[in-house]
Amino acid sequence: MINKTASCALITSRDPGLQAERTALAWSRTALAVLANAIFILRTAWIYQQVEFAVLGAALLLCALWVFGFGFKRSRALAVNATSSISQSGMFVIAAIVFSACSISLIGIGAHAFST
């Protein structure tokens, strides 16, 4: 027979495990990916002398720095409290930035494709 007190303790106890480390690594990988794309776009802007790509690359470079900083802040918060979460407004801001960056990129690529 299963002891109800022991089973309730197993359900309510939480092992934080490596979630904080995985979260920090995910933010670092994301920042690295954005940085690599920023460098690629800045290189393209340099070769083809396109101001639009230079602006996009600079914006991506700033986004990469922001993502790295946010990830650092998030990993610090998780190190102190493994159950902390991002607020709803924080998630909305992140989603809005990502949507805006994707939209601007697609508009810039489309405009460049139709102008040539």
Domain definitions of the chain by residue range: 17-115
In this predicted model, what pLDDT tens digit does every residue of 30-65 receive, in sequence order?
Answer: 889 889 988 988 998 999 998 888 888 888 898 888
The mean pLDDT value for 56-75 works out to: 86
SS3 83: coil
| Token pair 């106890």: residue | 13
Question: Is the pLDDT assigned to residue 67 strictly greater than 90?
Answer: no
- pLDDT for res 32: 92
Confidence of residue 84 (pLDDT cuts 50, 70, 90): low
- pLDDT for res 47: 92
Length of the chain: 116
Rg (the chain; Cα; Å): 21
- Distances in Å between the Cα of 49 and the Cα atoms of 37, 41, 46, 109 are 17, 11, 5, 15
Q: Quick count: other Cβ atoms within 10 Å of Cβ 56?
A: 23
Token pair for 107: 């508009």
- pLDDT for res 12: 54
